[in-house]
């Protein structure tokens, strides 16, 4: 009702504001990152190299936060094209191999063929990357990170599971709140952004978590039903659930 409408409006203007600031900050960070790169070519001594590494890491982290804010402000653009989930999962696996620390064991559990779904592969990649980053952060001492994909009666079920710290009830109840974070350098935008994208794809984030044991976040992408041979469908996406 009225309260909900005002809340939604506030969040919308917050998103616009954050998007505007993020855009300006990007223009601040770009010359810093470029200058670091140029200074590296001047054969700096060990001390200067160390300072450049610090500068580079900080600027990269800032750029990462900006990307999160921009993608939250953008939401889902609603592009709906056939998505090759097998190729997408291969990209996700490569991303994991390049970025996860060695103490985290990666398990990718996916069949070689999956039913056709429609959506935006860039947005879906981003959702998985967000969930994987959270799984990684939940396991600072290492553990097992499982990415699972399986055909489901309704489409394709994707899941990211970790053996990390889990969440207490209070935390679990707040994770979809924009800017809610328990991390020192978190933005609190990863899950709200992911939830918006998944909802726009006709799915819903499902959370299962046990404090001290781990967390699973899953969602179902509705399949292209009623078409023979599992060919990519061009029908309109299912309406988001709930309301
Ligand atoms: P951020 O990662 O920037 O904090 P998110 O929206 O992605 O923002 O997550 C919000 C909060 O939800 C996190 O700060 C953390 O407390 C909790 N959380 C999310 N995923 C997990 C997970 N896999 N294990 C434990 N806690 C999690």
Percent of the chain with pLDDT over 70: 92
CA angle 119, 110, 229 (to 5 degrees): 60
Q: Is 216 in the pocket of ligand 1 (CB under 6 A)?
A: no
**64-75 pLDDT, tens per residue?**
888 888 888 888
Measured from the Cα of 171, ligand 1's closest atom is 16
Q: What is the mean pLDDT of residues 201-212?
A: 96
| Cα 79 to ligand 1 centroid, rounded to whole Å | 27
- CA distances for 52 relative to 114, 185, 201, angstroms: 45, 21, 42
| Ligand 1 lined by 163 (C-beta under 6 Å) | no
- The pLDDT of residue 14 is 78
Burial of 124 (0-12, 13-18, 19+ CB in 10 A): buried
Given a contact cutoff of 8 angstroms between Cβ atoms, the answer to whether 136 and 96 are in contact is no
CA of 164, closest atom in ligand 1: 24
pTM exceeds 0.90 for this model: no
Q: How far is the CA of 217 from the centre of ligand 1 (A)?
A: 11
Centre of ligand 1 to C-alpha 207, Å, is 11
Say if ligand 1 is within 6 A of residue 61 CB: no
Q: Is 232 within 8 Å of 224 (Cβ atoms)?
A: yes
- What ipTM was estimated for this complex? 0.99
Q: What is the mean pLDDT of residues 127-154?
A: 96
The percent of residues in the chain predicted with pLDDT above 90, rounded, is 70
Residue minimizing CA distance to atom 25 of ligand 1: 166
- 225 pLDDT higher than 70: no
Residue with the two structure tokens 């394709």: 156
Lowest-pLDDT range, 13-27, 34-48, 80-94? 13-27
How large is the average pLDDT for residues 191-212?
96
Ligand 1 atom, smallest distance to 217 CA: 23
Q: Which residue has the tokens 């900050």?
A: 25
Is 186 a pocket residue for ligand 1 (Cβ < 6 Å)?
yes
pLDDT band at 78 (very low <50, low <70, confident <90, very high): confident
Higher-confidence residue of 223 and 235: namely 223
pLDDT of 240 above 90: no
Task: Report which of 152, 154, 163, 95 is spatially closest to residue 124, judged by C-alpha positions.
Answer: 95
Which atom belonging to ligand 1 lies closest to the Cα atom of 188?
Answer: 8
- Our answer on whether the CB atom of 171 is closer than 6 Å to any ligand 1 atom is yes
Asked whether 89 lines ligand 1 (CB < 6 A), one says no
Q: Six-digit token pair at 79? A: 């592009």
Question: Is it the case that residue 242 has pLDDT exceeding 80?
Answer: no
Characterize the bridge pairing of strands 81-83 and 104-109.
unpaired
How distant, in Å, are the alpha carbons of 40, 61, 86, 87, 167 from that of 196?
Answer: 40, 24, 23, 23, 21
Residue minimizing CA distance to atom 23 of ligand 1: 135
98, two tokens:
């390049």
CA of 131 to the centre of ligand 1 (A): 9
Residue 185 DSSP code: T
The mean per-residue pLDDT over the stretch 115-143 comes to 96
Gap between the terminal Cα atoms of the chain: 12
Contacts of 147 (CB under 8 A, 6+ apart): 89, 92, 93, 96, 106, 107, 108, 109, 110, 128, 132, 158, 159, 160
Looking up tokens 């009666």, which residue turns up?
A: 153
pLDDT tens string 169-197 = 999 999 999 899 999 989 999 999 999 99
Identify the residue whose C-alpha is closest to ligand 1 atom 14.
Answer: 181
The pLDDT of residue 174 is 96
pLDDT at residue number 224 = 67
């Amino acid at each position: 009702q009225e309260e909900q409408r005002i809340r939604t409006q506030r969040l919308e203007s917050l998103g616009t504001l954050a998007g505007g600031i993020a855009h300006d900050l990007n223009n601040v960070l770009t010359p810093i990152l470029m200058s670091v790169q140029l200074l590296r070519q001047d054969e700096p001594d060990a001390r200067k190299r160390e300072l450049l590494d610090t500068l580079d890491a900080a600027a990269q982290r800032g750029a990462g936060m900006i990307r999160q804010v921009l993608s939250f402000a953008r939401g889902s653009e609603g592009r709906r094209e056939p998505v090759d989930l097998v190729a997408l999962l291969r990209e996700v696996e490569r991303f994991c191999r390049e970025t996860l620390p060695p103490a985290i064991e990666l398990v990718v559990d996916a069949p070689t063929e999956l039913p056709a779904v429609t959506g935006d592969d860039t947005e879906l990649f981003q959702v998985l990357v967000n969930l994987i980053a959270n799984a990684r952060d939940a396991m600072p001492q290492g553990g097992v990170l499982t990415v699972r994909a399986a055909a489901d009666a309704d489409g394709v079920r994707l899941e990211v599971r970790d053996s990390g710290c889990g969440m207490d009830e209070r935390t679990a109840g707040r994770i979809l709140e924009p800017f809610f974070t328990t991390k020192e350098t978190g933005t609190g935008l990863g899950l709200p952004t992911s939830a918006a994208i998944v909802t726009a794809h006709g799915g819903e984030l499902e959370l299962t978590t046990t404090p001290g044991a781990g967390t699973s976040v899953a969602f179902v992408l509705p399949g292209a039903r009623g078409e023979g041979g599992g060919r990519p469908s061009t029908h309109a996406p299912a309406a988001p659930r709930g309301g």
